[in-house]
Amino acid sequence: MRLMTGIFAAALMAATSSFPAKAAGPELSDWAVVEKAATGQTVYFNAWGGSENINAYFEWVGAEMQSRYGVSVVQVKLEDTASAVAKVIAEKAAGKNDGGSVDLIWINGENFVSMKQQGLLLTPGWASSLPNWAYVDVENQPTILTDFTEPTEGLESPWGGAKMVFFHDSARTEAFAMPDNATALLDWAKKNPGRFSYPAPPDFTGSSFLKQVLSEVIADPSKLAKPVSEETFNADVEPLFAYLDQLHPAAWRSGKTFPQTYSDMKQKLADGELDIIFAFNPSEASAGIKAGELPETVRSFTFSKGTLGNTHFVAIPYNANAKEGALVTANFLISPEAQLRKQDPTYWGDPTVLAMSKLPEPDRAAFKALDLGAATLAPDKLGPVIAEPHASWMERIEVEWRRRYASGN
């Protein structure tokens, strides 16, 4: 999912600042009343639509919501989450504080920060008031409570985990030879010219690679938890661009062009054009094998000192037309049943946000029995999580990346 640029967000914030948002939501103390009010509602769920298996999961959610609660869920397929945010901003500017066209958004990062700052989200605390919140692993997954360093404050409900992992085809490359950090990856690329690349920003996966490298090479990593300092930005990011200046001549097509998306990069691994790729889902390689998109010999690896990780969420706009339906849908999405299916690589392979210790024994057993696939690393083998930088870093880095390299793309 692409992020909305800060320039765009700032312009729209200025244009709409005179319109106060009414963020009050339904009373959640009686969940039976919420479910009754949701019956017959249609929830327009705005979400990235670029994956067939994810879209199939949405279809399953829709069927379950209709049969269980009488709620219709319509996936509004997006290329860019910012387009859904823009709809809400435009409606606020027009004074449409009720009956909005967006009921639920798959969101995180800069888009969440933008909506929170502009008062475009349903009243704080709704997420932690959901019945199934009792199962959420807030103790061991700190990114559930902070989204790109911004406190979530119950304004969005966690839906799945994400962590960067790398893949290689063991039929062509040896596991012991795989790099263990960004510096080792650069050395590997120089020794194996043309066999590594990354999608061009602002593609989400490509931008994530830049954040991973920056997190490893910046002189003071603590700066990444705070907004960008314009006074020190150039010095802070110079190690990243020095790294890329060395990487690109050794990269696929000498860094003069880049894969367009993760799917493009995945195809290049399958076709033998690339030897190492990466994704933001530990089960992605196994899912690709099951779908026939990757060879059965593909395996995963990660960096022992950590890779980027975050949580993705669903949020309800303050003016949603089907607030109750959206709440019931959000609650279902963090049910053990929905999370189990979501983590199964047959359907998606997205890591759960639930704590196994909080689940009833039958649900724990079902998660334990999941076949995550031969290419999926066990949870205890994924290494530490490196927190996402403050959202302002990605905007500035993407602008600087385009200035330096986009002319060759």
pLDDT single digits (tens) 122-159: 999 999 999 999 999 999 888 999 998 899 999 999 99
Q: Hey, how many other C-beta atoms are within 10 angstroms of the C-beta on 223?
A: 17
Q: Which CATH class is domain 165-309+387-408?
A: alpha beta
Residue 408 has pLDDT above 90, yes or no: no
Q: Radius of gyration over alpha carbons of the chain, in Å?
A: 21
Domain ranges of the chain: 6-160+312-373, 165-309+387-408
pTM (2 decimals)? 0.80
pLDDT band for position 24 (cuts 50, 70, 90): low
Q: Percent of the chain, pLDDT > 70?
A: 93
Q: What is the pLDDT of residue 290?
A: 85
d(CA 136, CA 354): 4
The encoded tokens of residue 404 equal 């330096």
β-pair partners for 279 = 165
374-390 b/e (C-beta count within 10 Å ≥ 16 → b)? ebbbeeeebbebbbbbb
CATH of 6-160+312-373, one of 3.40.50.970, 3.90.1150.10, 3.40.50.1240, 3.40.190.10: 3.40.190.10
The encoded tokens of residue 43 equal 């929830």
d(CA 249, CA 11): 37
Q: What is the pLDDT of residue 21?
A: 45
Q: For 196-232, how does the pLDDT look when each residue is reduced to its tens digit (9 = 90+)?
A: 999 999 888 999 999 999 999 999 999 999 999 999 9
Q: What is the mean pLDDT of residues 250-259?
A: 97
Decide if 6-160+312-373 and 165-309+387-408 have a common fold: yes
Q: For 41-84, how does the pLDDT look when each residue is reduced to its tens digit (9 = 90+)?
A: 999 999 999 888 899 999 999 999 999 999 999 999 998 898 99
Classify burial at 346, counting beta carbons within 10 Å of its beta carbon; exposed 0-12, middle 13-18, buried 19 or more. Answer: middle
Q: Hey, how many other C-beta atoms are within 10 angstroms of the C-beta on 365?
A: 11
CB-based contacts of 138-141 (< 8 A; 24+ apart in sequence):
139/355, 140/355, 141/311, 141/353
Sole residue written with tokens 């823009």: 86
Query: Which residues are CB-contacts of 263 (< 8 A; sequence separation ≥ 6)?
Result: 50
Q: What is the pLDDT of residue 6?
A: 41
Q: How open is the CA angle 51-158-222, to the nearest 5 degrees?
A: 100
Where is 77: in which H helix or E strand?
strand 72-78
Of residues 151 and 19, the one with the higher pLDDT is 151
